[in-house]
Amino acid sequence: MIDSLKQFSWRRLSSSILQAFGTLWLAVEVTAYFFSERTWASDIKSGWWIFLILGVVIGVWRARPKRSVQARIAGTDVVVQVRICDLLKQSGTFIVGSNSTFDTAIEDNTIASSSVQGQFTIRCCGSVPELDQKLENALNPLTPARVLDKADKPYGKQKEYELGTVAPIEVGGKRAYFVAVASLNKHRVASSDRNGFLDALPRMWSEIRNRGGIEPICCPVIGSGFSRLNLTREKLIQELVRSFVAATQEAKFCEKLTVVIHPKDVLQGRIDMAEMGRFLEYECIYSIGISRSVNTVPEGTPLP
């Protein structure tokens, strides 16, 4: 409720009410053409309060803050949605942002209990050792980028994987893709940078395509919390959507992507859902046509 009030715009409300009154008055004018003008005008004047209430109700309904927006990717049946809700209450397979060593310990604060990974561990897993075993089985076929020295990382796991590496697991009846999006230092502090994050996204989608199913995917705004990325939540969502739309041009690997915004992120990030809806429409419908037209230009032809 509070996050909806945060998005409330008096300017949008006043504009919607005026549009509602304009539409109602147009209906009155058109109807009056077919009836006795005097009788119709008298009826409207006597019931002016109904006219007023109806206009305000329609205006408020149209101006209400949106909690979800979506668009279908042009030329496909894949839907991209941005929604304000609790990630772990949704259906589908979750993307869980993790670290490059896939550490899981909560008791020593390596993983914050309030993070998405921490909440997934607490709410969906039987125990941390069970989660560790699932991750180890998922990572066994992969070759780590390097093995860290105890002097560099005196705690937890030493095998470090490239950012964007995916470990698909199933635990507690929930399926999840654990994704390396940040690195931990010797003080248990996670961090990432813009270039590393943007490079990790295509690798993430590629591994999900190669190692996952076709079920709907629910993704938090990865990078917005303990990864300490210096990007706004709105920008992170846009980069997630852009990379996903580009990945679907290679092959279809899910029916629907839902980027989940936690209500507190709306309060902190000042995310405008109406603007986000316009971004989705452009990215999913119009940018596809632009990218295809560029790709089909004969080699050596100068672009406009």
Q: What string of pLDDT tens digits covers the 304 residues of the chain?
A: 444 545 556 666 677 767 776 777 777 776 666 665 555 556 666 766 676 777 777 767 666 667 899 999 998 999 999 999 999 999 899 999 999 999 999 999 999 999 999 999 999 997 899 999 999 999 999 999 999 999 889 999 999 999 999 999 999 889 999 999 999 999 999 988 999 999 999 999 999 999 988 999 999 999 887 787 888 899 999 999 999 999 998 889 999 999 999 887 776 656 888 889 999 999 998 876 544 443 443 444 444 4
Could you tell me the domains of the chain?
2-63 (no CATH), 68-295 (3.40.220.10)
Residue 303, CA distances (Å) to 87, 286, 297 in order: 43, 18, 8
Dihedral pair phi/psi, residue 89, rounded to 5°: -95, 0
Beta bridge partners of residue 179, listed in sequence order: 97, 166
**What is the pTM assigned to this prediction?**
0.78
